[in-house]
Structure 1
Amino acid sequence: MEEATTRAGGPADGPLLANRDYLLFLVCRGCTMAAFQTMSVAVGWHVYVRTGDVLNLAYIGLFMFLPFLLLFLPAGLLADRVDRRLIIAGAAVLHAAAIAMTGLWLSSGRAEIWPVFAFLFLDGIAQAFLYPATQAMLPTLVSRKDFPRALAGMNTVTKTAHLGGPAAGGLLIALIDTGVYAVIAALYLLGSAAVYRIRADLSIRTSEPFGMQVLLGGFRHILRTRTVLAAISLDLLAVLLGSVMGLLPVVASDILEVGPEALGLMRATPAIGALIVGLALARYGLPGHAGRIFFAALAAFGLSIVVISVSTVFWVTILALAIYGGSDMISVFIRHTLVQLGTPDPLRGRVSAVNAVSINASNQIGDFRAGVMAAIVGAPAAIAIGGVATLAIAVAWAQLFPELPKMARL
């Protein structure tokens, strides 16, 4: 068996704001998420403006996701074998290096765009190791009793970064153009320094020999938990088919005819909706009928995508994006609660790695799917098809996993 320890006797109950390690963790999470969101706006804008080719937006998603697909199993196992603090700190430094090289190349004025994709692949490697270690680390810093509030706090910080990052990205592009990448790299380095200062003993002690069964431990745990399997797979497919974020530069530039500042606001708006819903969930929780709420959120998610596809009015698109983000937050809350509290600590890294593939497949490969379809049938049709497909998948999963819509409480 494997054992992960933080302190003798485990984390003690107490005010979260008095927990130094938890606060440092939040600083790291906020910095790395703000950096990632700012980078997404900057790279998408610079690549599309320089090339005018919508297919390059698809390649951005592809090259950022491929490392997840290739490395999620060893990354998850490493998070269950090595001090998670060191993994996060090292991955954040690698993020900073990849982003700095991206900025230097774009600042050089050279026409070739393929080096940007190479740097994004390196950035994806860093994210492949950072995500499972981050997700697995939080339950070891707080007591089980405090975990729901700690998770709500992390989600609030994350959504604040989702809100501020894109808006800051659009503004920084307008002010300093490619200098935005220096700011992004600095945020990653700050996050690395914060997590490195955590004092908890996060060393991993293991007596279980390495083997394929151990490597696939995360899959085995999820497959044994049918409700978790249904929730993760449904969320993956819904966002895979319904992703619109990668096409927002096209919507902003060609359909709504707005500039980078408006694009930054559009990228931030889903986080506004998610933040409002997240604060409500942290305060009140779910009122019961969790399964029905989950599917209602998926319906709102799909319908909001359809509205985005037909809107030519900026503020209508903004409202639809807010609903898009708020409904997705409900899914995230349900899934993370099921996964984190339903997984023993010795398996958390591997389960979080599988969950990372689900999340990043939903976003990065979803962006690739949307970009390819937009190149074939145009952006509005590609977005509309994704929204309708999302609704169809929700109906199908309600039939395949009838226990999920019947779930009363988490």
Structure 2
Amino acid sequence: MSAHTILPPGNSGTLLRLPSLKAFLFSRSLAALASQMMAVAVGWQIYALTHSIRALGFVGLAQFAPMLFLVFIAGHFADRHDRRKIVMVCQALECTALVIVALGSAEGWIRPWMLYALVAIFGALRTFEMPCQQTFVAAIAPPALLPRATALSSSLFTAASVIGPSLGGVLYGLGPTACYAICAVSFGLACAGTVTMKLSWPTRVRNPVSLASVFGGVTYLRRRPDTLGAISLDLFAVLLGGATAMLPVYANDILRTGPLGLGLLRAAPAIGALLTSTAVARWPLRGRCGPLMFLSVAIFGVATIVFGLSTTVWISVLALMVLGAADVISVMVRGALVQLGTPDEMRGRVSAVNTLFIGSSNQLGELESGLLGSAIGPEAAVVIGGIGTILVAGIWVRLFPGLWRLDRLEDIEAH
């Protein structure tokens, strides 16, 4: 599930007087926009080259495999080194990789293995980039403005998630070269924005590197069953219920909408998330947050089933919007448990573990959907995944009763 939060009431004018915050928002939004456009282009081009549902599933595996091997190193790295420089290097390399793929598409020598290499490179780079980026707002905004700054950043990320897939579909209609080239330019500009940022970090004590310190995030989560339950619920729910790997198949073979329709399908969950974020900003969650999270996961599963059975574009888009709307509630609770319940010196490593769980659910979910879809058909695979998500929600209520009893997010404290 993608990360969406809400924008609380208040004027953002004061926030935008912070030059480094503006640079961060510019950089993160452009990078998110480019990532969404690239996902549409890669999915459509892989399917156009192979006409294989299984090949779409391998896209998720290619992106997840580097994350699996690097995530704990990345979290430890983020807690010990200059996070801004790490992000700069990652964005520069992302830009370079997209330039090469754009040239390959223009010259006609692009092959499926090259696209798998592209997403593997992005998987590795994002593993280092994401834990660092998640800490930037706290290093820029003063404590009194931190909640609004975080919400503004996440709202812009959500907007990029809405615009990016549709824009990617339009650009791919002009050809993959144009889409990849614009993605490369976007990452280049994002890197330039990161260069201009000035961050203020507390003095960090660099303890000797050891297995205990590298895997400190895992050890910490074992002592916090509610947090572990929230992120593992997301892992298994989306692992089973993720239908994104099937979107090129639905757009091309079932709904017959073309690349523009694929962009619309990819944007639909973010549209639902944005609408729900707006509603929750007006009517905040006051209590019973644990039961609401489990309910939202069950609704996620039901929406997945409806999408899997649909052969009508507007029903499919509506189902994906409901899926994205349900995602917001789950992500809000999980995000509060991870951020509010984690001490600052552990946030890089805990964020890395959270990144691994998110990546596992999204990328391995695509692999699971691709392999199952090639065996029993895309519709049956998506429906079975939705049923599995509902079952997981029920099982997790029994396994993590403390998470079910969670009331107000404001009461979460770091330990």
TM-score by length of 2: 0.92
One-letter amino acid matched to 1:166 = P
Which structure 2 segments of 5+ residues have no match? Answer: 1-12, 410-415
Matched residues in 2 for 1:278 and 1:187: separation?
26
- Give the equivalent residue in structure 2 for 1:163: 162
Matched residues in 1 for 2:344 and 2:359: separation?
22
- Give the equivalent residue in structure 2 for 1:66: 65
For residue 345 of structure 1, report the CA deviation from its aligned partner. 1.9
> How is 1:263-274 mapped onto 2 (pairs within 5 angstroms)?
263-274=262-273
> How is 1:25-104 mapped onto 2 (pairs within 5 angstroms)?
25-104=24-103
For residue 296 of structure 1, report the CA deviation from its aligned partner. 1.3
- Give the equivalent residue in structure 1 for 2:120: 121
For residue 204 of structure 1, report the CA deviation from its aligned partner. 5.6
- Give the equivalent residue in structure 2 for 1:369: 368
- Give the equivalent residue in structure 2 for 1:397: 396
Q: Secondary structure at the match of 2:134?
A: helix
Matched residues in 2 for 1:154 and 1:94: separation?
23
Matched residues in 2 for 1:214 and 1:111: separation?
42
One-letter amino acid matched to 1:70 = F
- Give the equivalent residue in structure 2 for 1:134: 133
Matched residues in 1 for 2:18 and 2:338: separation?
24
- Give the equivalent residue in structure 2 for 1:359: 358
Matched residues in 2 for 1:178 and 1:129: separation?
27
Q: How many residues align?
A: 398
Matched residues in 2 for 1:350 and 1:294: separation?
24
- Give the equivalent residue in structure 2 for 1:11: none
One-letter amino acid matched to 2:286 = P
Does the 8 A contact of 2:140 with 2:198 survive in 1? no
State whether structure 2 residue 222 is matched by structure 1 residue 217: no
Higher mean C-alpha deviation, range 34-43 or range 17-26: 17-26
Q: 1:220 to 1:142 in 2, by over 3 A?
A: farther
Q: Secondary structure at the match of 2:407?
A: coil
Q: 1:285 to 1:148 in 2, by over 3 A?
A: farther
For residue 103 of structure 1, report the CA deviation from its aligned partner. 2.2
Deviations 1:133-184 (A, max 9, x none): 1112222222344332222212211111110110000000112432210100
Matched residues in 1 for 2:93 and 2:202: separation?
22
Does the 8 A contact of 1:288 with 1:409 survive in 2? yes
- Give the equivalent residue in structure 2 for 1:316: 315
Deviations 1:366-402 (A, max 9, x none): 1011000000000000000000000000000001111
Q: Secondary structure at the match of 1:209?
A: coil
Alignment identity in percent?
39
Higher mean C-alpha deviation, range 253-262 or range 20-29: 20-29
Does the 8 A contact of 1:171 with 1:261 survive in 2? yes
Matched residues in 2 for 1:207 and 1:49: separation?
49
Deviations 1:87-130 (A, max 9, x none): 11111111111222222223332373212212221121111111
Matched residues in 1 for 2:61 and 2:106: separation?
23
Does the 8 A contact of 1:252 with 1:259 survive in 2? yes
Matched residues in 1 for 2:381 and 2:209: separation?
45
Higher mean C-alpha deviation, range 183-192 or range 104-113: 104-113
TM-score by length of 1: 0.93
Does the 8 A contact of 2:99 with 2:181 survive in 1? yes
Q: Secondary structure at the match of 1:343?
A: coil
Does the 8 A contact of 2:218 with 2:353 survive in 1? yes
One-letter amino acid matched to 1:174 = G
Matched residues in 2 for 1:207 and 1:186: separation?
36
Higher mean C-alpha deviation, range 377-386 or range 342-351: 342-351
Matched residues in 1 for 2:53 and 2:106: separation?
21
- Give the equivalent residue in structure 2 for 1:233: 232
Matched residues in 1 for 2:202 and 2:404: separation?
40
Deviations 1:29-76 (A, max 9, x none): 101111111110000001101211111111111111111111001111
Does the 8 A contact of 1:91 with 1:127 survive in 2? yes
For residue 185 of structure 1, report the CA deviation from its aligned partner. 0.8
Does the 8 A contact of 2:105 with 2:176 survive in 1? no
Matched residues in 2 for 1:367 and 1:68: separation?
15
For residue 203 of structure 1, report the CA deviation from its aligned partner. 7.5
- Give the equivalent residue in structure 2 for 1:189: 188
Matched residues in 2 for 1:110 and 1:375: separation?
27
For residue 336 of structure 1, report the CA deviation from its aligned partner. 1.3
Matched residues in 2 for 1:114 and 1:84: separation?
31
For residue 256 of structure 1, report the CA deviation from its aligned partner. 0.8
Q: 1:282 to 1:197 in 2, by over 3 A?
A: farther
Matched residues in 2 for 1:35 and 1:407: separation?
37
For residue 207 of structure 1, report the CA deviation from its aligned partner. 3.7
Superposition RMSD on alpha carbons, in Å?
1.7
State whether structure 2 residue 352 is matched by structure 1 residue 387: no
One-letter amino acid matched to 2:334 = R
Show structure 1 runs of 4+ deviating over 4 A. none
- Give the equivalent residue in structure 1 for 2:177: 178
